[in-house]
Structure 1
């Protein structure tokens, strides 16, 4: 009898451990980052745009659909969209003069999304699908390591530690710092820096290619911020999380601009 009780207790303990590991595992800018960008964008959208988006998405929020492009990675039917999440360029080479990926990249992916959404012959389902992709891709555009080098897969091959645990530079910027900060996406969005209308207009200026080139310059600084194998801790958060927050806010403001232009 006692043995059965011990076994039951052991099973429950193991179950709790497994459940905790699953729930706290890092997501594939991760889910919190993308949702933050979607929530910030919603705060800047024109009402007319909000209504049109709500109709297309059947009431789903930008925050909710912002992770869609990552979610479908598990389905091989959507492999054609995989390369749309990033653009690789050597240091000090802008997008215009870089060797393009024949399978497509962030720039061509965003252009295709806009094309389908604006096409009067596209079905509601097609427009909704590419709108979900667009929301995610504008977010990816503002993560420095999504505009990194080809040889290390945007920092994925640069091994470092995060508070003593093995990881890579890309993951640090995608999820580790945001998770360490410990705010929900709504909290991050609501606590974005207060900026003037003039500053918003300044951030909205430029094209998708201009924004990619800007992010690529940030990636160069990001690469220089670590050494291979380095144990990144509180000092790294202190020095770089302000840039993470800035990029999330910038991504949200620019996403709103892109959507307002599309649905005007």
Structure 2
């Protein structure tokens, strides 16, 4: 990873063209805020050394912001946000298919970025960039359509209307469902983060492969209940609200688990 942190950071914050890539601004910040509330003391201290005083939510959307960069420096990172996979019969088949995926993906980069952060030879700037990406793509993992199908680009090619506005299925799940709740990210994080310690441990159990399969199964349900040209409104919100909030909460708690284990 090239050490061009300062240049790209400026681009990130002056960019006014923010596209819908994953959970949107609010969703990623909710996940990061929940994760922050479950960091161990050691993880909190080590992350502060790398990131500074800003909270995780401050950086949570940076990997989407830099997609506005026109230099091509971050072009290779576009595939890090998702892993496309056809419907699989069970976890074993899913795992086999996952490991056969060609090139960098959401799946491969969680391990790659973790290794870069642990490596003492990684520069301070690159360790920070790797940590920022890890925070972001762990959020992507819990957005079901980031473990969707290649044929429709994770729902991007499935046209729907949402309260009469033309959009696509991926965009609905990235931001529209979250934003329609009208909470700030701190309000929503506080409302969702109410599980007991034992429940938190259960949610954090398992591996990255388990968590990806969890999202994959939910993606299959979303596909089945949202065909092309669907007209979505209050009934769709009601049908999937529990799923939406589950994924936001699980994303935050599982991000915390990865960061605690890393440090």
Per the normalisation by structure 1, the TM-score is 0.87
Query: Match of 1:154?
Result: 154
4+ residue runs of structure 1 moved beyond 2 angstroms?
A: 22-28, 95-103
- Kept in 1: contact 2:35–2:255 (CA 8 A): yes
Residue 195 (1) aligns with residue 192 (2): no
Query: Match of 1:91?
Result: 87
Structure whose CA Rg is larger? 1
User: Which is worse superposed, 190-199 or 135-144?
Assistant: 190-199
**For residues 20 and 75 of structure 2, what CA distance do their matches in structure 1 show?**
22
Residue 79 (1) aligns with residue 75 (2): yes
Query: Match of 1:205?
Result: 205
- Kept in 2: contact 1:117–1:127 (CA 8 A): yes
- Kept in 2: contact 1:89–1:148 (CA 8 A): yes
Q: Any idea what SS the aligned residue of 1:214 has?
A: helix
State the superposition RMSD in angstroms: 1.8
**For residues 256 and 51 of structure 2, what CA distance do their matches in structure 1 show?**
16
**CA distance 1:24–1:146, change in 2 (3 Å):** closer
Query: Match of 1:53?
Result: 47
Equivalence map 1:115-134=2 (5 Å): 115-134=115-134
Report how many residues are paired: 242
Query: Match of 2:222?
Result: 222
Unaligned ranges ≥5, structure 1: 1-21
**For residues 106 and 144 of structure 2, what CA distance do their matches in structure 1 show?**
13
**CA distance 1:26–1:241, change in 2 (3 Å):** same
- Kept in 1: contact 2:161–2:168 (CA 8 A): yes
Unaligned ranges ≥5, structure 2: 1-15
**C-alpha deviations, 1:107-164, integer Å up to 9, x for none?**
1111111010010111111110000000000000000000000000000000000000
Q: Residue 102 of structure 1: CA displacement?
A: 2.9
Residue 255 (1) aligns with residue 255 (2): yes
- Kept in 2: contact 1:41–1:252 (CA 8 A): yes
**For residues 188 and 137 of structure 1, what CA distance do their matches in structure 2 show?**
20
**For residues 21 and 40 of structure 2, what CA distance do their matches in structure 1 show?**
31
Q: Residue 38 of structure 1: CA displacement?
A: 0.3
Q: Any idea what SS the aligned residue of 1:77 has?
A: coil
Q: Any idea what SS the aligned residue of 1:181 has?
A: coil
- Kept in 2: contact 1:80–1:103 (CA 8 A): no
**C-alpha deviations, 1:85-119, integer Å up to 9, x for none?**
00111112514224744331111111111010010
**For residues 179 and 23 of structure 1, what CA distance do their matches in structure 2 show?**
18
Residue 139 (1) aligns with residue 133 (2): no
**CA distance 1:24–1:112, change in 2 (3 Å):** closer
- Kept in 2: contact 1:89–1:95 (CA 8 A): no
Query: Match of 1:110?
Result: 110
**CA distance 1:95–1:191, change in 2 (3 Å):** same
Residue 32 (1) aligns with residue 26 (2): yes
**CA distance 1:35–1:193, change in 2 (3 Å):** closer
User: Which is worse superposed, 26-35 or 63-72?
Assistant: 26-35
- Kept in 1: contact 2:204–2:254 (CA 8 A): yes
- Kept in 1: contact 2:79–2:104 (CA 8 A): yes
